[in-house]
Each structure stands twice: as structure tokens, then as C-alpha cells.
Amino acid sequence: MSDSNLMEKIVSLCKRRGFLFPGSEIYGGLAGTYDYGPMGVLLKENVERIWRELFRDGRDDIYGVDAAILMNPKVWEASGHTATFADPLVVCAECKRRFRADQLDDPSVCPECSGALSEPKPFNMMFATKAGVAEDESATVYLRPETAGGIFVNYKNVMDSVHPKLPFGIAQIGKAFRNEIAPRDFIFRLRELSQMEVEYFVAPAAWEKAFEEWRETMHAYARALALPDEKLHELEVPQDDLAHYSKRTIDFEFDYPFGRKELWGLAYRTDFDLSAHMERSSASFEYLDEETKEKFVPHVIEPSLGVDRTVLAVLASAYREDELGGETRTYLTLAPKVAPVKAMVSPLLKNKPELVEKAREVRAVLRAALPGAVIAWDDNGNIGKRYRRQDEIGTPFCVTVDFDTLGEKPEFANTVTLRDRDTGAQERLSVPDVAGRIRAALA
């Protein structure tokens, strides 16, 4: 399968099975926006939940915030986004199309019509809107271009409310908005995206140790998502290419079907943000080390992860086709923790009330035994079709209730068949054993 073919197949599966839909589709869409559907919501929540476990809740030194998307514009002046959050824009003199100069092989020739392109001009990617009824400049506010801004402005609030000692971090998952010149590659480059970010505050001399620890946490996250190790690469960003706030950045790149591209970033932001906010606001962010009696502005290590790029990496890694039972099938080898649905329960025949009743009972037992796990129900079409549907959304287990469950063969009474997604192999197990098997897969 060629890589472009693979991408088309992933996009098509996402639409067909309710993972992702083009934004505002009935009106022809809106470039750079996608909507998560029923399966996509569950997948995204799992990606975020595993991040929360590793980056926030499984630790004692990280606190959460959920800050407003609209922020005082002074935040973005201080962070440098108003002045420098720009990509180089070129416009074709002939067809008037707009491009990002740094994404063109030849930034002087239009890739669509070969017309002459303008000189690159910086194009600020922040989305502006107006707050309140005034129409003048003073009412201009921006949709946040990174969730980090909402963390820095709450540094003092967190200090004053939970009194942490350094090192500690503040974590946030939320939407960010970037008016990308050329949104592309499905959910890779969006105008409305979600980020999972930690700002980790350290004493200046401790930054390197913290950087290495977060680097390892990011690899642990990749392993938890079952991203193949050989597709993940670290790129030490050259000094000339560093963002304005960074002294060191590692890009975690991933081999997407359309090439090796940035998945996540790990940056050493120094004291750039806290110092900049201190200069422009009335807040003091100086920290007094009680042992050394030293006063300083904390430095920051920032693991920054895009939710949508992570979802895409997970889907692209999991997509498979094979021959099973004489048919070509498509399936997703999602890690059980990541899969939207953990198991599907089904009566062999839907027009046999005794099978349906027993299957409902089995489903209730599994739901009670596995709180929080989505246990689906499907009695539509024949059993083979049901398995195929679950394969396509990556459900690791299918549980079928048949006449043997009801005691037709007494030795199998109260057992069900458990089918494995990847091999298609089936075995007979008691319901508690099925619950145990699923629980073990989710551990």
C-alpha cells in the first residue's frame, strides 16, 4: 500500500466509522477544522486520559488548571506572540493563491500556476476577535495560540493556593487556535487544535535534569500509546530555528504516511515567560529558596503535545489490512487502553429472546466488573459483519452468547466465546474469566 493510499484509507475509515468528520461539512466544510465523532471522542479521551495519568495524576508535583481561551491581549504581548508568532506568507501574482514560503521547494514560483510569487511577508497566526460591544482596537482579543499562556498567568494563583515547592508543574489540556496559512494533512495541521502542556518550574541550575526526566516521560507516553519505537525520532532543533522563547528544544518527530513530521516538542523556555509577565504586570514571580535563601525567577521546562497529531499517529500506526476467513478485512491494532470500545457483546441470533436476554445479562456483568470501560452492544446483521465493524474501530474483544451458553451442551453452560481482534481466534470462557482477561489487557 502506498503512503498516500494509506492516508486516503485512514481518512475514509475515520469518516465511515465515526472517528472524524470534516468541520461544518454540510456547508462545504471549513479549512483546518475537523469534528470528532462518536468513536473519535472516545479515542481522544483515552489519549488525554493516559497523558493525565503520566503527566499529572500519577505524580505529586503537578497541578491542573483549565484557563479561559480568551485572554487579556497583554498576555500575548508579553509572550512575544503579538510581535513574532508569524509564518512567511507569499502570494501569487497570477492566481492570487497564498502559500507558506518555508513549505515550498522554490518560494519564488507558484506551485499551482507557475506565476511569480511575492516576497515573503510575516503573517501573524493569532485569531483576533472583539470582546464586548466596542468596535475599536481596544476591544481586540485573541483566541489563545497555545495553552501555555493560561498556565503562566496562573503561576501565582497556584503558588498562593496550593503552596508548592520547586520543582513543580502546572498542566493543562485545551483548545488552541492558529490561523495556519496552509492547513493540511487531515488533522495534522489544523486551525483549531487541542494541546496537552506542562510548564515545569525549576531552579535555574536544575533545568537539564528536569529536561532529561520529561524526555523520558514523553517516551513512556509513546510506549503507553503503542506508537512503534522505530517511527519516533528525536530532532535537536538547531539554535537558528529555536522559537523566540527557547534555549533548547527537542522535536519528537513521527513517520506519518505523508512523511516525518513534528509530533510533540520539549522546550527549555528559561525564565522568558515569567520574567516577561513580571515586567509588564504588577505580579512578582520571584521564588525564595528557603534552604539557600536565594531569590530567583523559576525557569521552565515545557513538554508540549498536540492531541490531534497524537490521535493521527495512533491511527496511522494501528491501521492494518489482512485476509481472514477468506475475506480482506481492515482493522486497527489499537492498544486496549486506547481503543474506544473495549469489548462488544452480542447474541448469536437477534430473533431468539432467550439469547438476547442472556447476552444483556452478560453485558451488564461486564459493565459492572469493568467500570469506565465502554462495553458495546451489537445485534445487527450476521456475526461476521459485527466482527468486521468492531475490527474497524479497533475493539480488542468480541463476546458472543450462543446456545451453548444457555446449556445446550451442559459442559459449556454459562460460558461465552471470546474473540481476539488481531488473530480472529476464539475461545470459550466463563464470564468472570472474560472480565479478568479484559481487565488484564487494560492494566
Which positions lie near ligand GAP, rule CB under 6 A?
A: 146, 148, 178, 180, 189-190, 193, 195, 197, 262-265, 302, 304-306, 308-309
Closer residue to ligand GAP, CB minimum distance, 189 or 363 = 189
Grid cell, residue 435, equals 472480565
| Shortest CB 196 distance to ligand GAP, Å | 9
- How far CA 441 is from CA of 58, 280, 438, in Å, comes to 20, 51, 5
Closer residue to ligand GAP, CB minimum distance, 304 or 346 = 304
Look-up: residue for cell 458495546? 376
Asked whether the beta carbons of 11 and 186 are under 8 A apart, the reply is yes
The Cα 93–Cα 116 span in angstroms is 6
Closer residue to ligand GAP, CB minimum distance, 178 or 358 = 178
Q: Which residues pair with 267 in a beta bridge?
A: 249, 302
Closer residue to ligand GAP, CB minimum distance, 254 or 331 = 254
Closer residue to ligand GAP, CB minimum distance, 263 or 418 = 263
| Shortest CB 70 distance to ligand GAP, Å | 17
| Shortest CB 51 distance to ligand GAP, Å | 12
Instruction: Give the residue at shortest CB distance from ligand GAP.
Output: 306
| Of the candidates 393, 394, 395, the residue with the CA atom closest to the CA atom of residue 345 | 395
CA dihedral 223, 224, 227, 233 (to 10 degrees): -40
| Shortest CB 304 distance to ligand GAP, Å | 4
The Cα 207–Cα 167 span in angstroms is 10
The Cα 226–Cα 428 span in angstroms is 28
Closer residue to ligand GAP, CB minimum distance, 177 or 387 = 177
Grid cell, residue 183, equals 492547513
The Cα 43–Cα 60 span in angstroms is 27
Closer residue to ligand GAP, CB minimum distance, 274 or 418 = 274
| Shortest CB 95 distance to ligand GAP, Å | 24
| Shortest CB 440 distance to ligand GAP, Å | 32
Closer residue to ligand GAP, CB minimum distance, 263 or 434 = 263
Cβ-count burial 298-323 (b if 16+ within 10 Å, e if not): bbbbbbbbbbbbbbbbbbbbbbeeee
| Shortest CB 149 distance to ligand GAP, Å | 8
Q: At residue 312, what is the residue type? A: L
Asked whether the beta carbons of 310 and 270 are under 8 A apart, the reply is no
| Shortest CB 112 distance to ligand GAP, Å | 22
62-64/168-177 β-pairing:
parallel
